[in-house]
Amino acid sequence: MTAQPIASHFVDGRYVEDETGAEFVSRHPATGEVIAHLHAATQAVIEAAFDCAARAQKEWAACAPAERGRVLREAARILRRDNQALSELETLDTGKPIQETLVADAASGAEALEYFGGIAAGIAGETIPVPGAHVYTLREPLGVCVGIGAWNYPIQVACWKAAPALACGNAMVFKPSEVTPLTTLKLAEALVEAGAPPGLFNVVQGMGEVGAALAAHPACAKVSLTGSVPTGARVAAQAGARLIPATMELGGKSPLIVFDDADLEDAVGGALLGNFYSAGQVCTNGTRVFVQSGIRDAFMTRLLERTAAIRIGDPTDPDTHMGPLISAEHAGRVRAAIEAGEAEGASRLTQDALPDLPGLDSAAFVPPTIFGGVTDDMSLAREEIFGPVLSLLDFETESEVIARANGTPFGLAAGLFTRDVTRAHRVAAALDAGVCWINCYNLTPVEAPFGGVKASGMGRENSKAAVEFYTRLKTVNLGLVPVDSPY
Ligand code: NDP
């Protein structure tokens, strides 16, 4: 099995290699097989990427915004045209089931390119009525932006950063996670095929130190990271030292609250989606499921029944619901979190056993795991596990659950299920979260802002809000009356 790219990096509109960079491999998580050999970017590759990005950015910013929009929408069309192959590649690289990657990865990336391609021509400043002056603002690009991605949604993360950045007239140097380096190269190819100038979107590979070198580069005008809280704190500190803007999309430990009057099947469906999609490797997952006492038994019964129907197996099989985690090493971390939960006294309600996985590396798989009797002080309720581990917590009253839901340093997302429309809005208003879902979970339409509060991050992706984070505002004052000078 191979998915070897032409070369490791994509710089100035073409694949480039520098074999003096540290070698690393990409593996198919389900089998552990090596699917690609790559080299981390050397300083020479990084400099080449910034040089051509700076040149391309000037050309791109000078072209008509409507033309920029056309290029992005054409890139979206190419991703949709190639969705089958891109999904297969994403499944090989991430281990996510093909039934997910076909609808949630390149397809979501294409939506971002379409959306920002659509609004590119409408990005503008405003006129401000002031007596004796004509005052207006210009919304200008920042320059060369750096994007750094996580491994759970590689091409989607790249598109969610590249689409608004490019629509606003910036160029980008992007580093994918070292464990999922492949599909972002295809995005770079698609943009060139769509007519973007060479150098506008560059992919450089490597480990954390390459990301750190990009964020610290004097030509980096802005950095946008999707990753964990500790990495976010480091990268934001680097940006702060240089006083450049930073968008941080970080981790979470989101609450999902099920009130007594909830629609049972919807609430169970939301909890399953919000914990087991992508084998639980989703930043917004509602891993703390607070269930009100009156619905607790019925909820738990249906949750366990429906969990038992989840099909674990080969992610390339269209019938598979849940594949491996990103690596056997990460699965080991998730198993350690499960063991810690048991040792702290939570009761494990699901079986430990995996089905037969012929030809697959079972060490990379973790079955969907549900804990009951979880309390707020347990590690299960405090730490982001980033695997298929759902914790059930009991509650009695609305005010109690709001206080407990907010009792975390994270603030990425929150969900609640209730038929009481007044309570739904009251509770949504009271929750510390960048995104709230009422009677649904994990919907992230490109038209709506996405991002966290508290330790889960800063800035917003998607929607018109993202434009704020990829442009700078210039105020222009034109005097309309004689200058009133006392000298
Ligand atoms: P990491 O924080 O480990 O890595 C994220 C990216 O940052 C990777 O490309 C990594 O490179 C790079 N990196 C690591 N160290 C540095 C550094 N010092 N300077 C610059 N870049 C660096 O996250 P994971 O890849 O493990 O992803 C999982 C995390 O991402 C979870 O916490 C999850 O919640 C979060 N996430 C947040 C999302 C959101 O939108 N809020 C969405 C998806 C995930 P390398 O991998 O090569 O080491």
Ligand 1 pocket, residue 181 CB under 6 Å = no
483 within a domain of the structure (yes/no): no
Judge if 185 and 278 occupy the same domain: no
Q: What is the CATH number of the domain that holds 108?
A: 3.40.605.10
Which residue among 173, 205, 207, 226 has the greatest number of ligand 1 atoms within 8 angstroms of its CB, and so is best to mutate?
A: 226
Distance 412 CA to ligand 1 centre (A): 15
281 within a domain of the structure (yes/no): yes
Ligand 1 pocket, residue 203 CB under 6 Å = no
Active site residue 249: yes
Please identify, by atom number, the ligand 1 atom nearest to the C-alpha of residue 149.
Answer: 9
Distance 231 CA to ligand 1 centre (A): 6
Judge if 59 and 186 occupy the same domain: yes
Ligand 1 pocket, residue 32 CB under 6 Å = no
Judge if 98 and 231 occupy the same domain: yes
113 within a domain of the structure (yes/no): yes
Judge if 259 and 173 occupy the same domain: no
Provide block-wise average pLDDT over 10 residues at a time, the chain (487 residues).
Answer: 96 98 98 98 98 98 98 98 98 98 98 98 97 98 98 98 98 98 98 98 98 98 98 98 98 98 98 98 98 98 98 98 98 98 98 96 98 98 98 98 98 98 98 98 98 98 98 98 95
Ligand 1 pocket, residue 234 CB under 6 Å = yes
150 within a domain of the structure (yes/no): yes
Question: How many domains would you assign to the chain?
Answer: 2
The DSSP code sequence of 188-239 is HHHHHHHTPPTTSEEE---SHHHHHHHHH-TTEEEEEEES-HHHHHHHHHHH
Judge if 284 and 244 occupy the same domain: no
**Cβ contact 433:253 at 8 Å:** no
Judge if 163 and 53 occupy the same domain: yes
Judge if 118 and 162 occupy the same domain: yes
Judge if 194 and 336 occupy the same domain: no
221 within a domain of the structure (yes/no): yes
479 within a domain of the structure (yes/no): no
Which residue among 39, 173, 179, 228 has the greatest number of ligand 1 atoms within 8 angstroms of its CB, and so is best to mutate?
A: 228
Last-in-domain residue among 438, 464, 482: 438
Residue 82: predicted pLDDT: 98
391 within a domain of the structure (yes/no): yes
Q: What is the CATH number of the domain that holds 300?
A: 3.40.309.10
Distance 443 CA to ligand 1 centre (A): 22
Ligand 1 pocket, residue 212 CB under 6 Å = yes
Nearest CA to ligand 1 atom 25: 150
**Domain of residue 87, residue span:** 9-250+456-474
397 within a domain of the structure (yes/no): yes
Residue 148: predicted pLDDT: 98
Active-site pick, 100, 178, 189, 249: 249
Judge if 17 and 135 occupy the same domain: yes
Judge if 293 and 210 occupy the same domain: no
CB within 8 A of 276, min separation 6: which ones? 307, 310, 321, 322, 368, 388, 390
Judge if 198 and 317 occupy the same domain: no
Ligand 1 pocket, residue 444 CB under 6 Å = no
- Cα–Cα distances in angstroms (integers) from residue 345 to residues 339, 374, 380, in the given order: 10, 8, 10
Residue 1: predicted pLDDT: 82
Please identify, by atom number, the ligand 1 atom nearest to the C-alpha of residue 232.
Answer: 2
Judge if 163 and 260 occupy the same domain: no
